[in-house]
Amino acid sequence: MSKSKGNVIYPETLIERYGLDSVRYFLLREMPVSQDEIFSPESFVERYNFDLCNDLSNLLNRTVSMVNKYFEGKVPDYNGTPNEVDKEFEEFTLEQISKFEEKMKELEIANALQEIWGLISRTNKYIDETMPWALAKEEEQREKLASSMYHLIENLRKIAILIKPFMNDTAENIFRQIGVQEKNLKVWNSLKIQNGLKDINVIEKGEPIFMRLKPEEEIDYLKSIMKK
């Protein structure tokens, strides 16, 4: 049974409506350990829509759709770094993983999550940099297109590993949609591997892992239950 009292809102109230992973992400990202924090409906809806829907869910959906469109659902094998930004992109990813590990050693969970979202943001930017839709128009750019798809899937795999301790169901959903089934590709020790994906197929149609909220409607709802 969900409950709220005065201007207090209980986590179970949010979980019933928005799911465990999104609530856990918000609380860990917004509320420092051992410190009190005021819950803001506006902040919750903003985090949900921008971080989870726009950044993470949209990245997964776009990538799965492009692999289906350009390679009939089969993830290309690793073919080096033919795109101008590929090498820098790989290096950035490894740097973000190291930053995440350092933050976790200090138990700075909010900052650790921020490093993950820095990687998610950079991966979204990689799509704009490589422009797969343009590469697909020219057969001689096929190698670059394949590399773009591989790097996107590979980063989604790494992102899923990084968020798994905080958002287990979301991580497993990402693994399922990008076709990663082997346990050795889901473990921490595989984060530094770059060319380990072979014979991988994404699902036929991407599924949004978070659906965008209507801000005014949800903010009004949250404020109403906080008054009860």
Give 220's contacts (C-beta < 8 A, 6+ positions apart): none
Helix (H, G, I), strand (E, B) or coil at 170: helix
Selected residue with higher pLDDT from 38 and 177: 177
pLDDT at residue number 3: 41
Q: Which residues contact 115 (CB under 8 A, 6 or more apart)?
A: 96, 99, 100, 103
DSSP SS3 for 9: strand
* 123 token code pair: 């991966």
> Would the pLDDT of 171 be above 80?
yes
CA angle (94 as vertex; 92, 98 as ends), nearest 5: 115
State the pLDDT at residue 37.
64
Per-residue pLDDT band for 7 (boundaries 50, 70, 90) equals low
* Type of residue found at 110: A
Domain boundaries along the sequence of the chain: 47-211
Digit-coded pLDDT (tens) for 12-39: 888 999 999 999 999 999 876 555 667 8
- pLDDT band at 228; cut points 50, 70, 90: low
CATH number listed for the domain at residues 47-211? 1.10.730.10
pLDDT per residue over 64-88, tens digit each?
999 999 999 999 999 999 999 999 9
The mean per-residue pLDDT over the stretch 94-116 comes to 95
